[in-house]
Amino acid sequence: MAVKSADPQARHEESVITAERINRFGLLARRVTAASAREPITVSYPVTGETIGNVPRCDEQDLRSAARRARASQKEWARRSIAQRARVLLRFHDLVLRRQSEGLDIIQLENGKSRVQAFEEIMATATAARYYARSARSHLRQRRRGGAMPVLTSTRELRKPRGLVGFIVPWNYPLTLGITDALAAIMAGNAVLIKPDHQTPFSTLWAVELLEQAGLPPDVATVVTGDGAELGPPIVECVDFLMFTGSTRVGKLVAAQAGERLLECSMELGGKNAMLVLADASLRRVIDGALVGTFSNAGQLCIAMERIYVHSSLHDVFVQRLAERAAELRIGGGLDWSKDVGPLISRQQLERVNAHVEDAVEKGATVRAGGRARPDIGPLFYEPTVLANVTSEMRCFGEETFGPVVSVYPFDDEDEAIDLINDGPYGLNASVWTRDTGRGRRIAERIDAGTVNVNEPYAAAFGSTDAPMGGMKQSGVGRRHGAYGIQKYTEPQTIAVQRLLPVTPPMHWDGKVYATALSAGLRLMRRTPGLR
Short-list 175, 194, 166, CA closest to 110: 175
What are 440-497's pLDDT values in tens digits?
A: 999 999 999 999 999 999 999 999 999 999 999 999 999 999 999 999 999 999 999 9
Catalytic residue, candidates 110, 121, 268, 383: 268
Amino acid letter for position 493: Q
Active site annotation includes 324? no
C-alpha torsion 112→113→115→117, nearest 10: -160
Element containing residue 55 per DSSP (H, E): strand 51-55
DSSP 439-463: HHHHHHHTS-SSEEEESSSSHHHHT
Mean of pLDDT values over 90-113: 98
Does position 524 have pLDDT exceeding 90, yes or no?
no
Give the pLDDT score at 230. Answer: 96
Short-list 490, 469, 491, 489, CA closest to 480: 469
DSSP 185-207: HHHTT-EEEEE--TTS-HHHHHH
Mean of pLDDT values over 219-226: 98
Does position 4 have pLDDT exceeding 60, yes or no?
no
Q: What order of strands is seen across the sheet that includes strand 490-498?
A: 143-145, 153-161, 490-498
Give the pLDDT score at 3. Answer: 46
d(CA 335, CA 338): 9
Give the pLDDT score at 44. Answer: 97
Mean of pLDDT values over 360-382: 98
Give the pLDDT score at 439. Answer: 98
Give the pLDDT score at 338. Answer: 96
d(CA 332, CA 113): 9
Short-list 498, 486, 522, CA closest to 189: 486
Element containing residue 357 per DSSP (H, E): helix 347-362
Catalytic residue, candidates 58, 302, 306, 400: 302
Could you tell me which residues come within 8 angstroms of residue 32 by beta carbon, excluding any fewer than 6 positions away?
55, 56, 58, 201, 205, 223, 224, 225
Could you tell me which residues come within 8 angstroms of residue 133 by beta carbon, excluding any fewer than 6 positions away?
85, 86, 87, 89, 90, 93, 187
What are 170-206's pLDDT values in tens digits?
A: 999 999 999 999 999 999 999 999 999 999 999 999 9
Of residues 520 and 109, more confidence is placed in 109
What are 44-73's pLDDT values in tens digits?
A: 999 999 999 999 999 999 999 999 999 999
Give the pLDDT score at 14. Answer: 62
* pTM of the model as a whole: 0.95
Active site annotation includes 456? no
